[in-house]
Amino acid sequence: MAIARSSFIKACYGRNDGPLPVWIMRQAGRYLPEYRAIREKVSFLELCRSPELIAEVVKQPIDRFDLDAAILFSDILTILEPMGMKVGFPEGGPEIEAPISTPEDIDRLRDFDIAEEMPYIIEGIRKIKEVLPEKPLIGFAGSPFTVACYLIQGKGSKNFDTAKQFIHSYPDAAARLIDFLSHVTARYLEMQIDAGADAVQLFESWGGILSRDDFRGMSIDASNKIFGALSGKNVPRILFVNNIAPYLDMINDVDCEAVGIDYRADLAAAARALPGKAVQGNLDPSVLFGSVEHVRKKTEALLDGFEDHSRLIFNLGHGIMVGTPIESVRAMVDTVHNYRGQ
């Protein structure tokens, strides 16, 4: 099967002997003029709920850059509305109406039939596979702790102090919340795989604010519950942790094939700390605002410093930024594809 022989899938299993694969976090987004043209016509939520538009925006960066994997277009918080939480997506970031503030508030969250409540995700994946049959498709979800941060804080934050205070003020309730979200997230990712996703990524966007002890209880254990539930699906499972460096030794305990490394960490050192896993990353997104030659040099330097290219998936170390020059993205992708150091 072509997908199984793709450089991306082979790299996830540490067996890539060909050109290095590259994809970009948030690769379907506002840096692309064709994406902005769609957003001028529909809201973010309308886009997330239209299978046809999902497939269109997922295809856009593949058409431009011949990236080696596509990723589902959605948001980590779209899963909340079927739980009974009202979520808005104004320009300043997500906002949740009536966030969780007491243990009793957790009882407001309802389990739900994912296929019935989120059919646009299933149909969106099917549409993507129709228009991109040869490209591996990555499904994704937010980690339970990251989603809990928004549920408790009610909006974005630099440090999510309210969420951290909640988990220590109500440790039993916090554990119950994480367990519930783990259960729903596992079924959500399973649904994506059954619909056609060839790999899945769990975004631990805010776990990096936790102490090491809390990270094990709130993140590592939850990730293992989710990935363990998917172990029989025979697709690569990727964990991305923003600010991963303090927890690298723990990440070896996670039941996954690949680990995304943020731009703050040394990629080669992270790979040495994770000998049994593929590594994904980790060019600083701001590098792409430099000249084309600067982008090439930075990309080559990162590749030159890596030892075992059979288990490398090239990516940015965080999501691509609004305003990123198209020519810089192309220079990075071409540099990776043309690299001969593996």
What are the residue ranges spanned by the domains of the chain?
A: 7-338
Mean local confidence (pLDDT), 267-273: 96
Q: Which residue has the tokens 């969250």?
A: 109
Q: pLDDT at residue 290 above 70?
A: yes
Nearest to 65 by CA among 320, 284, 280, 331: 331
**Catalytic positions, written as ranges:** 26, 30, 39, 75, 150
Edge-to-edge strand ranges of the sheet holding 199-204: 70-71, 137-142, 199-204, 237-241, 258-261, 278-283, 312-316
Percent of the chain whose pLDDT exceeds 70: 99
- State whether residue 228 is helix, strand or coil: helix
- State whether residue 272 is helix, strand or coil: helix
Q: pLDDT at residue 1 above 90?
A: no
For 214-256, the pLDDT digits (tens) are 999 999 999 999 999 999 999 999 999 999 999 999 999 999 9
Residue pair 315/299 in contact (Cβ under 8 Å)? The answer is no
For 72-123, the pLDDT digits (tens) are 999 999 999 999 999 998 877 899 999 999 999 999 999 999 999 999 999 9
For 22-68, the pLDDT digits (tens) are 999 999 999 999 999 999 999 999 999 999 999 999 999 999 999 99
Q: pLDDT at residue 342 above 60?
A: no
Q: Which residue has the tokens 């094939």?
A: 257
Correct CATH for 7-338 of 3.30.1360.120, 2.40.30.30, 3.40.50.1700, 3.20.20.210: 3.20.20.210
Q: So what's the pLDDT on residue 124? A: 98
Q: How far apart are CA 250 and CA 212, in angstroms?
A: 9
Q: How far apart are CA 207 and CA 204, in angstroms?
A: 6
The token pair that represents 251 in the structure block: 């990440």
Using a cut of 0.85, tell me whether the model's pTM lies above it.
Answer: yes
* Distance of alpha carbon 311 from the chain centroid: 18
